[in-house]
Every structure is written in structure tokens, then in C-alpha cells.
């Protein structure tokens, strides 16, 4: 079983069917699609790239919109109410964002 099948298996039938229907109905109009034909691995890769853009290009369209999506799910930093603020600071300061905080 692939990772994508495992993830789909964790969803309810209605959610899974909605995602698969969305993927099946989505068309790519030539060069206007940034990731080509949208399939589950492509969708996951695209969303993860947008999360990374929140950190290293926060003013970008993708990073800004992903920050809004994350905030709508309650993922914000209390310091400035912006998702991934600590990770962004670590990235720009050359530190590992997953390393324990130095106090």
C-alpha cells in the first residue's frame, strides 16, 4: 500500500470520494498549471511546497495564501499571529527550525 493510499484510508468515505472526484474533474490548460496533471501525489507535493513558501517566501502569493489556510485551521504563532514565524526566523538566521530553542 502506498503512502497516498494510507492517507486516503484515514479519511471518511465522503471525504475520500470528494477528493478523488475533484482530482478526476481537474484539468490542466497547457502551461497555465504549475504542476501539470493534478493527481494525489502532485497535489500533496504542491501543498507541501506552498507550506515551504510560507517560510522562505512569505510575501509570495502561494506562501501568503497557505498561511491563511493554516490560520483558518488554527495554526498560528502566538507572537505575531502568523503561521511558522519561528521557522521563518530560523530559516533566515541559518538555524535548523527543528532544533531545540536556545534560551
The pTM for the full model equals: 0.68
Q: Is 45 helix (H, G, I), strand (E, B) or coil?
A: helix
* Percent of the chain residues past pLDDT 70, beyond the cut: 74
- CA–CA–CA angle 73, 57, 97 (5° rounding): 70
* pLDDT for residue 18 is more than 90: yes
The closest of 62, 61, 103, 67 to 88, measured between CA atoms, is 67
pLDDT the model gives residue 38: 87
pLDDT the model gives residue 78: 47
Between CA 71 and CA 35 the distance in angstroms is 24
CB atoms within 10 A of CB 63: 22
Amino acid at each position: 500500500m502506498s503512502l497516498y493510499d494510507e492517507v486516503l484510508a484515514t479519511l471518511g468515505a465522503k471525504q475520500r470520494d470528494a477528493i478523488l472526484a475533484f482530482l478526476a474533474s481537474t484539468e490542466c490548460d497547457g502551461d497555465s498549471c504549475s504542476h501539470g496533471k493534478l493527481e494525489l501525489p502532485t497535489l500533496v507535493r504542491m501543498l507541501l511546497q506552498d507550506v515551504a513558501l510560507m517560510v522562505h517566501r512569505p510575501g509570495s502569493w502561494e506562501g501568503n495564501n497557505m498561511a491563511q489556510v493554516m490560520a483558518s485551521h488554527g495554526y498560528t504563532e502566538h507572537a505575531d499571529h502568523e503561521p511558522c514565524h519561528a521557522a521563518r526566523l530560523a530559516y533566515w538566521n541559518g538555524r535548523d527550525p527543528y532544533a531545540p530553542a536556545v534560551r
